Amino acid sequence: KKTGKRRVRVYMDGCFDLMHYGHANALRQAKALGDELVVGLVSDEEIVANKGPPVLSMDERLALVSGLKWVDEVITDAPYAITETFLNRLFHEYNIDYVIHGDDPCLLPDGTDAYAAAKKAGRYKQIKRTEGVSSTDIVGRIMSSLKEQKICEDRNGTDVKPQEECQSKVSHISQFLPTSRRIVQFSNGKGPGPNARIVYIDGAFDLFHAGHVQMLKRARELGDFLLVGIHSDETVSENRGNHYPIMHLHERSLSVLASRYVDEVIIGAPLEITKDMVCPRFCIICISFKLLAIVIGVLTCTHHSFFSIYFTLFFITTNFSRVLK
């Protein structure tokens, strides 16, 4: 597919409301079917007419979709149904070769297939829908989290429901099973260059939103390589309350990894950034430790019992680069 003269341009449309890793995975698969991926963002009005009101505005949805590493161009105000007129526009104005959609049926309110025209023209391709997540499911999670929280607050201090029962519900809600393959598919697979300035930023990144995109973009601009620490579910629950996070650790990790500004993630990073974790390249303490380690290593090279000391010190001072290797 990548050997022809002209680059293959593929089009995937959608609402991308409350954007999640299922949407990101759909766009990742679509991009793999061509060279350039053009996303059609369905307008707020069209979503209202076909599905009911979206949770996020067009601006927020646009920020989220544009921030994904697989997206090359975005057409705003795309129609919900690909009519023959719009299909011709896609072919002639945007030079689109194929229209792509997930393998779930997409019906218009009148029961007809929203992709019928593209299928008829022989320009339709399908990708595999990601199981276990949808915008509706996320809204459901938020609602049940708020409901449980309210019940626990109302009953707090009474005998009706013991506090122990008001534990985090995140594990009961998510059906997502992380595989190493999926994480690899979302990763850049590259470490930092030899003189790269590594920027570290951490957080919960629950319900990944437009504010997160902006924050990651700014963090990336501060250096050459952005490493993002994603707090564990337990850490988030301890800090935000038992009914958070809404999305569990691996779901949050995929959403962050899908960002074009992110180079690497630590899945389950600690809340506290310790000295041994972030050791800047030219940090005086680190250099002193390294020199001390080398001196001890050289002086004790014949005494095997001292080797452990040498390696421990070296290990402490190079911990951060060890994570990124």
Residues that bind ligand CTP (CB under 6 A): 12, 14-17, 22-23, 26, 101-102, 104, 129-130, 133-136
Contacts of the segment 161-168: beta carbons below 8 A, 24+ positions apart? 166/242, 167/242, 168/233, 168/237, 168/242, 168/243, 168/244
Q: Is 127 helix (H, G, I), strand (E, B) or coil?
A: strand
Q: Which is nearer to ligand CTP, 20 or 243 (CB)?
A: 20
How many whole angstroms separate alpha carbon 281 and alpha carbon 295?
19
| Nearest-approach distance from CB 176 to ligand CTP, in angstroms | 10
Instruction: Give 239's DSSP letter.
Output: H
- What count of other Cβ atoms lies within 10 Å of the Cβ of residue 204? 22
Q: Which is nearer to ligand CTP, 40 or 229 (CB)?
A: 40
**Which sign does the torsion angle of CA 232, 236, 242, 248 carry?**
negative
Q: Which is nearer to ligand CTP, 51 or 260 (CB)?
A: 51
Q: Which is nearer to ligand CTP, 22 or 34 (CB)?
A: 22
| Nearest-approach distance from CB 24 to ligand CTP, in angstroms | 9
| Nearest-approach distance from CB 150 to ligand CTP, in angstroms | 26
Residue type at position 96: I
Q: Which is nearer to ligand CTP, 19 or 279 (CB)?
A: 19
Kindly tell me the burial class for residue 184, based on how many C-beta atoms sit within 10 Å of its own C-beta (0-12, 13-18, 19 or more).
Answer: exposed
Map 252-280 to HEC letters. HHHHHHCECCCCEEEEEECCCCCCCCCCC
| Nearest-approach distance from CB 130 to ligand CTP, in angstroms | 4
Residue nearest to ligand CTP (CB): 102
How many whole angstroms separate alpha carbon 251 and alpha carbon 178?
8
Q: Which is nearer to ligand CTP, 34 or 102 (CB)?
A: 102
Cα distance between the two ends of the chain: 33
Strand partners, 38: 11, 73
| Nearest-approach distance from CB 250 to ligand CTP, in angstroms | 15
Q: Which is nearer to ligand CTP, 17 or 263 (CB)?
A: 17
| Nearest-approach distance from CB 132 to ligand CTP, in angstroms | 7
| Nearest-approach distance from CB 179 to ligand CTP, in angstroms | 16
